């Protein structure tokens, strides 16, 4: 495990106030996000059928939690994200361009390769998706949406700081987003790893959006993995903040303009995932039956950590941890939920 406790760390809020603040934070941010992006709340599944192709394959190696349902004679999978389900839902609900949805997504990622201050096998996020027109499939539209999300984060922080004065000790998050491509990061720091590049850039620009994740860079390697069947790898990215407490770049959201039929066809071939073409979702998308959309996920526990000044994700969510992490946090006086 890789748990790091910052020297002299003490939670700014006790356990009970933390729980209350998390509830308030989520209500505030949901309302602000929905207003900024014209989103409407919907209910979402905890599991889907494998044959639909709706589950997120993430980087391709993560195994979804599967189980059988004897009464219907089929298998189901706990969702890993709702990236594809949301687009199907917009089609089913017949949403018009400019209108979108958001929902609470709870997932299990049992093959999370690192469990540390920021990563857990339990994932909770706001998944959102919005119908756009073909003319909106461009970087300017993407950037405008990113700035709307950053504005919602900043507004939520301002309200929390007014209600909990202790939080005024934390740095004020900037809503001014610096945009940079992953290729620009590789060009500037070719000898650094992608995470090292993120850390170096975020130290200079504490609110940033990295454009272009999933496709190969000039080096032949991608900045990070991204499934080929939801984001357009040329018009997607990650929203990151610099976390003074942990001294690292802090990914809050992954999002992007979604694939159209031509982009899906190309990315499936590049990723060697042509077998997915026979799944229900992929057939509909390749046939042009699904709307053009933009969407993403925003980590609920991640946002809680950032706005409440927490050192470990287990302080804002209830999960399962190894003995070493539990002991490290106990010795540091950190209450895991």
- pLDDT tens digits along 246-289: 999 999 999 999 999 999 999 999 999 999 899 888 999 999 99
Catalytic residue among 136, 251, 267, 315: 251
Residues near 71 by Cβ (< 8 Å), separated by ≥ 6?
none
Q: What is the mean pLDDT of residues 316-336?
A: 83
Residues 6+ apart with CB under 8 A from 162: none
Beta strand segments in the chain, E: 39-41, 47-49, 66-69, 74-78, 100-108, 122-131, 178-181, 207-211, 231-243, 248-258, 293-299
Among residues 120, 125, 253, 317, which one is catalytic? Answer: 125
Average per-residue pLDDT in the chain?
A: 90
Q: What pLDDT does residue 287 have? A: 95
Residue 140 has pLDDT above 80, yes or no: yes
More confident residue, 140 or 61: 140
What's the pLDDT score for residue 60? 62
For residue 2, tell me if it sits in a domain.
no
Of 105, 129, 122, 161, residue with least CA distance to 34:
129
Active-site entry in 56, 129, 232, 243: 56
pLDDT at 20 over 70: yes
Q: Closest Cα partner for 67 from 110, 127, 105?
A: 110
- Give this prediction's pTM: 0.91
pLDDT in tens, 86-133: 998 999 999 999 999 999 988 887 777 677 888 888 889 999 999 999
The fraction of the chain above a pLDDT of 90, given in percent, is 65
At residue 58, the pLDDT reads 67
Q: Is 133 a catalytic residue?
A: no
312 vs 256, more confident: 256
Distance of CA 328 to the CA centre of its chain: 27
Residue 321 forms part of a structural domain: yes
Rg of the chain on CA atoms, in Å: 20
Rounded mean pLDDT of 233-240?
Answer: 97
Q: List the CATH number of the domain containing 111.
A: 3.30.930.10
Question: Which of 30, 81, 109, 258 is the catalytic position?
Answer: 109
266 as an active site residue: the answer is no
How far apart CA 114 and CA 283 sit, in angstroms, is: 34
* Spatial CB neighbours of 21, under 8 Å, sequence gap ≥ 6: 13, 160, 163, 164, 304, 308
Residue 251 designated active-site: yes
The neighbour count for residue 225, using CB atoms within 10 Å, is 15
Among 36, 67, 74, 34, which Cα is nearest to 52's?
74
Q: What is the mean pLDDT of residues 4-13?
A: 87
- Encode 90-140 in three state secondary structure: HHHHCCCCCCEEEEEEEEECCCCCCCECCCCCEEEEEEEEEECCHHHCCHH
Question: Looking at the predicted structure, is the pLDDT value of residue 317 above 90?
Answer: no
pLDDT computed for residue 24 by the predictor: 96
Q: Model confidence at 23, in pLDDT bands (50, 70, 90)? A: very high
Any domain includes 268? yes
Residue with the bigger pLDDT between 292 and 320: it is: 292
Q: How many CB atoms lie within 10 A of CB 35?
A: 12
**What domain range includes position 63?**
15-331
Residues 165-197 have pLDDT tens digits of 999 999 999 889 999 999 999 999 999 999 999
What gap in Å lies between CA 67 and CA 60, rounded to an integer? 19
Say which of 155, 186, 229, 238 is annotated catalytic: 238
Residue 39: inside a domain: yes
Choosing from 254, 267, 292, 301, which is the catalytic residue? 254
Q: What pLDDT does 59 receive?
A: 62
Cα–Cα distance, 222 to 234 (Å, whole number):
12
Summarize pLDDT for 217-229 with one digit per residue, the tens.
999 999 998 889 9
How many domains does the chain fold into?
Answer: 1
Q: What is the pLDDT of residues 82-99, one digit of tens each?
A: 888 899 899 999 999 999
CA-CA distance, 321 to 120, in Å (whole number)? 8
Report if residue 257 sits inside a domain. Answer: yes
- Residue 322 a catalytic site member: no
Higher pLDDT, 37 or 77: 37
302 within some domain: yes
DSSP-derived secondary structure letter, 65: P
């Amino acid at each position: 495990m890789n748990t790091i406790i910052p020297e002299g760390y003490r939670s700014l809020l006790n356990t009970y106030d933390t729980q209350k603040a998390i509830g308030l934070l989520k209500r505030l941010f949901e309302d602000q996000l929905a207003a900024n992006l014209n989103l409407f709340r919907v209910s979402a599944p905890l599991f889907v059928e494998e044959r639909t192709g709706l589950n997120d394959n993430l980087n391709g190696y993560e195994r979804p939690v599967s189980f059988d349902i004897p009464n219907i004679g089929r298998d189901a999978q706990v969702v890993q994200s709702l990236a594809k389900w949301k687009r199907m839902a917009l089609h089913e609900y017949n949403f018009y361009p400019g209108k979108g949805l958001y929902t609470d997504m709870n997932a299990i990622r049992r093959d999370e390769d690192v469990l540390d201050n920021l990563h857990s096998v339990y994932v909770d996020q706001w998944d959102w998706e919005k119908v756009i027109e073909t003319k909106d499939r461009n970087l300017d539209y993407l950037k405008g949406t990113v700035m709307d999300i950053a504005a919602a984060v900043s507004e939520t922080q301002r309200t929390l700081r007014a209600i909990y004065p202790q939080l005024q000790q934390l740095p004020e998050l900037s809503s001014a987003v610096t945009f940079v491509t992953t290729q620009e990061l590789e060009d500037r720091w070719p000898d650094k790893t992608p995470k090292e590049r993120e850390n170096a850039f975020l130290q200079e620009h504490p609110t940033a959006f990295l454009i272009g994740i999933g496709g190969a860079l000039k080096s032949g390697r991608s900045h990070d993995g991204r499934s080929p069947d939801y984001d357009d790898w040329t018009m997607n990215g990650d929203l990151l903040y610099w976390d003074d407490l942990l001294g690292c770049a802090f990914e809050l959201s992954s999002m992007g303009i979604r694939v159209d039929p031509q982009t899906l066809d190309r990315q499936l071939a590049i990723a060697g995932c042509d077998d997915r073409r026979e799944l229900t979702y992929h057939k509909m998308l390749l046939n042009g039956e699904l709307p053009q959309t933009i969407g993403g996920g925003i980590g609920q526990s991640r946002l809680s950590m950032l706005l409440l000044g927490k050192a470990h994700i287990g302080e804002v969510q209830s999960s399962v941890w190894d003995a070493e992490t539990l002991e490290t946090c106990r010795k540091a006086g950190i209450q895991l939920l």
